[in-house]
Structure 1
Amino acid sequence: MSASNPTLITFVIYIAAMVLIGFMAYRSTNNLSDYILGGRSLGSVVTALSAGASDMSGWLLMGLPGAIYMSGLSESWIAIGLIVGAYLNWLFVAGRLRVQTEHNGDALTLPDYFASRFEDKSGLLRIISAVVILVFFTIYCASGIVAGARLFESTFGMSYETALWAGAAATIAYTFVGGFLAVSWTDTVQATLMIFALLLTPIIVLLATGGVDTTFLAIEAQDPGNFDMLKNTTFIGIISLMGWGLGYFGQPHILARFMAADSVKSIANARRISMTWMILCLGGTVAVGFFGIAYFSAHPEVAGPVTENHERVFIELAKLLFNPWIAGVLLSAILAAVMSTLSCQLLVCSSALTEDFYKTFLRKSASQVELVWVGRAMVLLVALIAIALAANPDNRVLGLVSYAWAGFGAAFGPVVLISVIWKKMTRDGALAGILVGAITVIVWKHFELLGLYEIIPGFIFASLAIYFVSLMGQPSAGMVQRFEAAEKDFRLNK
């Protein structure tokens, strides 16, 4: 291996610590509720940082800095869209979803919530939503495994095939053993590591390139358009980047954090912590890519790896500018970003297979111990499929993430959002919303219509389908009664 010993040792210590947390969580995992939602016991700090870390995958330290490095500040519209979308999700969905899931059969998963909220006796709503989760999340998991493989490949000189397994192994281990608590506790550690890396790195790059004035002059000399937020953009392009914010309403791994909060009273404080963390991280990410333009233009002799693959800009800066021990910690932040999201996705897929297929249709009388072990087996199954999908070394992290993000945002976003604010929504409306959203994303992506990011038409068409189909029927008295009771509970305790 080409890596220096300090970097390798740092990685090993970090991975060992994450796996140890997994075994600590194992002791607190007694039933399926513990394994899937941690027994709804998360405080505001863990809820906030876990939601943030599960959201910001390897894309945060690889995909976005690479995009900024290549195109300048015009790519930062995506960060603005994400901040707005995340805030609105915390404001309108988080607290309401926490109480709605509790009032609707103490639902553990999104399909479980949909089935209870809309009294779907046929099982169709549960099956379709679980299938959407499995299809899009398996793609999303693959993106995380690609990011981890890129990290191990460039840091330790491994072949892509070896790096693929090395990057995924630790995440699979602690998710398999500890379930939701392991994922949430490790997310908190990983979120701390990520913000440390993203605040420290741009400061050191700035110092290495001669300070603010010198750095900005170098970036301008490279291309004055780097400062132009509208460079090479169109109205549709900006709307497409901002449209990423719509995805938050439908991401099962983020929504699960809201469902697992210890009470609705924790949500407001969690929102403040999470949004502060997110704004600082995204600001640091944009700065890393932007200042990297100046550094590599001044040092073309070391720019080869970044020229070959711009998603390596953070990795290369960490290796070039820091003591190997510090570089090891900073590069561990990429692994933290990858592991935090991948673990959440594996767990959501596992919960869909266990709670929404196995328990509901195959073994209704299964014991809690049996369900937990089925959940663990499903983690392994989904991980193996995702590794197979990630086997193509030409995969780009941002491309894989954008497709899966759009799929969830359009299929589930309108259903979740409208289900917690409109009591007249019906089961057929929910079904229409999921189908229209998912199909629109797939068709729009295939034909690349208008150059518009597929989440936007998907979200709009799904919302319209929910509204008009719901008007054709009437919710039952029980549905309305549960909705009103949950809304009252929310307003009294928020």
Structure 2
Amino acid sequence: MLSSLTRLQRYYLYYTGVFALFVLLLALLERNGMPPRWVGYAFLVFTVTMYATIGVFSRTTDVSEYYVAGRRIPAFFNGMATGADWMSAASFMGLAGTLYLQGFQGLAYVIGWTGGFVLVALLLAPYLRRFGQYTIPDFLCARYGGNTIRLIAVFAAILASFVYVVAQIYGVGVITSRFVSLQFEVGVFVGLAGILVCSFLGGMRAVTWTQVAQYLILIVAYITPVAILSYNVTGVPVPQMVYGQVLEQVTKLEHQLFDAPSELEVRELYRERADLYAQKIMQLPHSLTQERERLSIQINELKSSDVQMREIVALERQRRELPQDPEQARERWEKEMFLAVDRSKPPIHHAEPFPGSSVEERDAQRINFLALIFCLTIGTAALPHVLMRYYTTPTVAQARQSVFWSLLFITILYVTAPAYAVFAKFEVLSNLAGIPIAKLPGWVAAWTKVGLVSIEDINGDGILQFAELALNPDVIVLATPEIAGMPYVVSGLVAAGALAAALSTADGLLLTITSALSHDVYYRVFRPQSSTQFRLVIAKSLLLVVAVFAATVAAQKPGTILSMVAWAFSIAGSAFFPALVLGIFWVRATRAGAIAGMLVGLLLTLYYILRLEFGGYSWLGFDGGRLDPWFHLQSTSAGVFGIAAGFATNIAVSLLTRPSPQAAAFLERIRRPGNQVEGP
């Protein structure tokens, strides 16, 4: 049987076997007393060492190998590498968590992401491969002409990729801080080292073969715990087939639990807290002074009484942590008020499509659901780091085939994510809600230290109500083995898979950013006469700089993984999709139209995200307060406005300007079957 496999297939089969033996060895060592922390270290060191070894053996000084892997990647392996490149920390960690929290509405991510690959196969991949070259800005420059559009495309590619890569490095920090007990900020830079060893020496060639290895680990790690959980709950180790039965049990538990008197009491207390914060905000600055005086009086009373010192220390810490001025108080108390409002709302029933207390609220959820699908579908078809993968196949036919393989490998994870969410919620509702807080399992305290789990006994009864438990969506997949009481080696395996997902995507994104800077800006615009060796030196130097900067931003915890990724999709879709699609299928599309469409779409999307999420542009001296959502759309769907505006502007300006005489000849070349234009 082995003799019928290709050399590459045999290598990766041996690699998978070695990894399986390593996991079994760790399981035996854990059973014989190996501490959990050492299990985490073993997974981290072993997997990163394997990736580094592949990266070292794939080192190259050839420009074509560095940027497009020599255009020699077979469709099957390119599909697997694309799957790893695509299945980022957002897919691995955030998708199941979002489905856990949002239920039906979280399916927008599954539908949008998979649908995008259909657009890639039909509209973009074959034409990009016939074109050849190295980057998306290369294509836009060749189609429309001039360096202006190249520079705009470079800016958009860097911005979308940077937001995306920050989310991946943030995910690495979460993983390392929990499973190897590193401080979050330290874990971010440890993960950064793992990213660089995969991509620094060999560029796209090293990244591709490393991503194939990472896909094998991440898919095994993703499926294993939910398969074990499925077997324990239903007796069938195929969760994709039986999670519907468990969903029925989850629905029954939700109806029993969510309307219980204790749950209603807790939600009412959170509503009262929200009202209290609202009053404080309305009475600023007087309320801030009152709060400081109240704490001072309490501290003085306690000091004169016979109480334990820790109570006095706790109140003194509260007084020290009070906002320094009314503006800071408003910002902090608004955040606390919104959190209390969210926790006062009735929980979402997992199987209910668009829950809400009014028709307007349900309509808003429906609009957001459809808008998010639209943005993710278009964004998938416009992400530069995904589109670059179709430059690496030997032929146009294999570019099409690799899209099929990509979708197949990605679907394996996406049909498992809904099952993950259902089984995780079943475990939480069955075994966590309603138990004494003093008897909570150890994983709750461990994840609380990381900051992704929050427990608050707001009604003081010593029992954990469901509304008193706050789980960050990024924790669901990583914590599921611990929630279900599995051996810690399974948790380590999941962490290794999540790390592989984050590293694989981060590698591709960093390579996209550095390729845009070194190839499209330095070589194409400023130094066309530079040698190939010096171009690679520039690319590798920029890789280090961008990676360190991205890790620094990620260490600030700017948002949840899935929200940052959704912003990146909106940015990419609004900047690239109209220019690419019209450039391929409409000969009348002009350079002026493409430039105007890209700028309008990109700037409108950025305006909406910044105003809605961050309230303004204080760094530019302008702060107009938070924007009221347009048509009730959240910032994750900002691309709806940018994509529509980009198409409309591109078409309108193109009709008013003269098309390039070279456009028809260019389109004839990339549309002609069997024709392909190789890069330099």
- Residues 479 and 491, structure 2, Cα contact 8 Å, conserved in 1: no
CA 1:385–1:395 in structure 2 vs 1: closer, same or farther (change >3 Å)? same
- Residues 4 and 324, structure 1, Cα contact 8 Å, conserved in 2: no
Aligned residues: 484
CA 1:174–1:482 in structure 2 vs 1: closer, same or farther (change >3 Å)? same
Distance in 1 separating the partners of 2:646 and 2:533: 38
Look up the match of 1:331. Answer: 495
Look up the match of 2:418. Answer: 286
Look up the match of 2:366. Answer: 235
Distance in 2 separating the partners of 1:455 and 1:52: 24
Deviations 1:98-154 (A, max 9, x none): 11x23xxxx21111221112121xx21111111122223222211111011011112
Q: 1:362 aligns with which of 526, 529, 540?
A: 526
CA 1:21–1:486 in structure 2 vs 1: closer, same or farther (change >3 Å)? same
Alignment-mate amino acid for residue 24 of structure 1:
F
What is the root-mean-square deviation of aligned Cα atoms in Å?
Answer: 2.3
CA 1:321–1:433 in structure 2 vs 1: closer, same or farther (change >3 Å)? farther
Deviations 1:352-381 (A, max 9, x none): 110122113332221111111110111111
Q: 2:53 aligns with which of 20, 23, 38?
A: 20
CA 1:394–1:258 in structure 2 vs 1: closer, same or farther (change >3 Å)? closer
Deviations 1:169-196 (A, max 9, x none): 1112221111101111111122222222
Look up the match of 2:666. Answer: 482
Structure 1 residues 285-304: aligned runs within 5 Å: 285-300=417-432, 301-302=440-441, 304=444
Q: Can you give the 5+ residue segments of structure 2 that lack an aligned partner in the other structure?
A: 1-33, 236-241, 256-348, 357-361, 433-439, 448-452, 454-469, 612-626
Deviation of residue 326 (structure 1)? 4.2
Stretch moving more, 66-75 or 442-451: 442-451
Look up the match of 2:564. Answer: 400
Report the TM-score, using the length of structure 1 for normalisation: 0.92
Residues 1:31 and 2:62 are matched in the alignment: yes
Distance in 2 separating the partners of 1:231 and 1:89: 33
Look up the match of 2:206. Answer: 182
Q: 2:632 aligns with which of 428, 451, 455?
A: 451
Deviations 1:222-243 (A, max 9, x none): 4352112333553212112312
Identity across matched positions, percent: 23
Residues 1:438 and 2:595 are matched in the alignment: no
CA 1:265–1:219 in structure 2 vs 1: closer, same or farther (change >3 Å)? same
Distance in 2 separating the partners of 1:57 and 1:135: 17
Alignment-mate amino acid for residue 318 of structure 1:
P
Residues 1:378 and 2:411 are matched in the alignment: no
Alignment-mate amino acid for residue 311 of structure 1:
D
- Residues 411 and 434, structure 1, Cα contact 8 Å, conserved in 2: yes
- Residues 80 and 405, structure 2, Cα contact 8 Å, conserved in 1: yes
Deviations 1:299-333 (A, max 9, x none): 31347335442311111123455444444333211
Q: 1:316 aligns with which of 476, 479, 493?
A: 479
| Secondary structure class of the residue paired with 2:177 | helix
Alignment-mate amino acid for residue 173 of structure 1:
V
Distance in 2 separating the partners of 1:298 and 1:157: 29
Stretch moving more, 326-335 or 217-226: 217-226
Deviations 1:240-266 (A, max 9, x none): 231211111210000001122211011
Report the TM-score, using the length of structure 2 for normalisation: 0.68
Distance in 2 separating the partners of 1:313 and 1:483: 47
Q: Can you give the 5+ residue segments of structure 1 that lack an aligned partner in the other structure?
A: none
Alignment-mate amino acid for residue 647 of structure 2:
S
Greater share of helix: 1
| Secondary structure class of the residue paired with 1:412 | helix
Deviation of residue 214 (structure 1)? 6.9
Look up the match of 1:419. Answer: 583
Distance in 1 separating the partners of 2:198 and 2:401: 28
- Residues 207 and 507, structure 2, Cα contact 8 Å, conserved in 1: yes
Residues 1:198 and 2:218 are matched in the alignment: no
Deviation of residue 347 (structure 1)? 0.4
Look up the match of 1:47. Answer: 78
Look up the match of 2:187. Answer: 163
- Residues 96 and 490, structure 1, Cα contact 8 Å, conserved in 2: no
Deviation of residue 406 (structure 1)? 0.9
CA 1:205–1:240 in structure 2 vs 1: closer, same or farther (change >3 Å)? farther
Look up the match of 1:8. Answer: 41
Residues 1:117 and 2:150 are matched in the alignment: no
- Residues 146 and 395, structure 1, Cα contact 8 Å, conserved in 2: no
Distance in 2 separating the partners of 1:34 and 1:426: 33
